[in-house]
Structure 1
């Protein structure tokens, strides 16, 4: 262990860590400098147990926001690391479109801390899938990078191909919840080879951003067809309700 620690120290000296957002040299392995950390809008304090949105005040009980009371989610609980704005938006955009896998690596500990309040026993970690045509074009699924690093950090079982997209949907940006749900009907299914694996298991679905939650809802519905114990969802960021 000693020589390995020495090599790591030498590497950090010669190649100091850089902030994932602005490139400034930083100490430690948080991934962000103090300025970018503050601009990334990490979610803390009281949140809705169903969608992860911040709530005012404090409570010793699980609370549900008005929107989720009006339209209950089909998953058990949810959490988000950031609000999808400013520094966090920049990070996710670069993870998604600029092939910056190191952002997903840094996000592993962030996601684990985010998931901790709703972490089930012996979870099975799985990403929200991309359709194969979109995967070929992009070359990687950013949600799978995130789920891999979450599972690696927490030493959880990871099944990257648990779910599959059975039909290609158009970009859902700008569509409302009803329109998204219509496009996503029967668009996600459990891989036939994994159906026995999920029975009686607690599933944690991982995605990069939640807006309306329609995609996660479709993925959750697919899981419940095969007698899973529960479905929890965690995402790196969620759109603020007034955005």
Structure 2
């Protein structure tokens, strides 16, 4: 009697396993090391990726009365991967960072949606601008890429608009004291081409790192002078500074 049962097919390796094998082969040709811990053979190793996913949820803060949502502290793997993406041209890290930005960004969009009126007034997501010199050196707008990747899945009911630009005299914020950051951050303006679009709209303002909050504060002020309503602010990281409270009147970020 001939059996009607089909022969059992061999189990195929999972896609994740095939991906790991591909990375192993690539490491033989192009040796690499984890940007966070230095482990061999991976740009960001399995353990450090797990540490990213397992970061504790940070409570919502306030910056001058506006909800401020942050993914994590500017430390550990989150800091290492962001620095590599932003300053070292490691564009492959965009998706990894976008996965971390997605939750606080979607939460902020939902909050902004409660202030919107009708489908034609969907919230607007505005990235903080980089200096043109930095963008030319980098070769890409890192924050624009992060936001686009974070909102790709799921598709969020929001518009992405490059509404802000830096003005003449703006320098990098790194190394400046809190009071110097405040003055430097004010060299920012709304693009004239989007002023009409912004008027009366709910806005979510996004940056990669918040330190003293000076840049976010200046961005909010410029947008609201153009008629927008900044409902929430979002950042991938928050970096605490010892001199952030040197002027209590200008350091109003709190839980």
- 1:36–1:152 Cα change, 3 Å: closer
Q: How does 1:1-243 map to 2 (within 5 A)?
A: 9=15, 12=19, 15=22, 33-38=46-51, 42-44=55-57, 47-50=59-62, 73-74=63-64, 76-119=66-109, 120-121=112-113, 122-156=122-156, 157-185=158-186, 187-240=187-240
Does structure 2 conserve the Cα–Cα contact (< 8 Å) formed by 1:40 and 1:82?
A: no
Shifted more, 35-44 versus 167-176: the winner is: 35-44
Question: What do you get for the CA RMSD once the two structures are aligned?
Answer: 3.3
Shift of 1:102: 2.5
Does structure 2 conserve the Cα–Cα contact (< 8 Å) formed by 1:148 and 1:158?
A: no
Structure 1: give runs of 5+ residues left out of the alignment.
Answer: 1-5, 26-30, 51-72
Structure 2: give runs of 5+ residues left out of the alignment.
Answer: 1-11, 28-33, 114-121, 244-255
| SS of residue paired to 1:15 | helix
- 1:160–1:132 Cα change, 3 Å: farther
Number of residue pairs aligned between Structure 1 and Structure 2: 209
Q: Following the alignment from structure 2 to structure 1, what is the Cα–Cα distance between the partners of residues 70 and 221?
A: 20
Does structure 2 conserve the Cα–Cα contact (< 8 Å) formed by 1:126 and 1:144?
A: no
Does structure 2 conserve the Cα–Cα contact (< 8 Å) formed by 1:40 and 1:88?
A: no
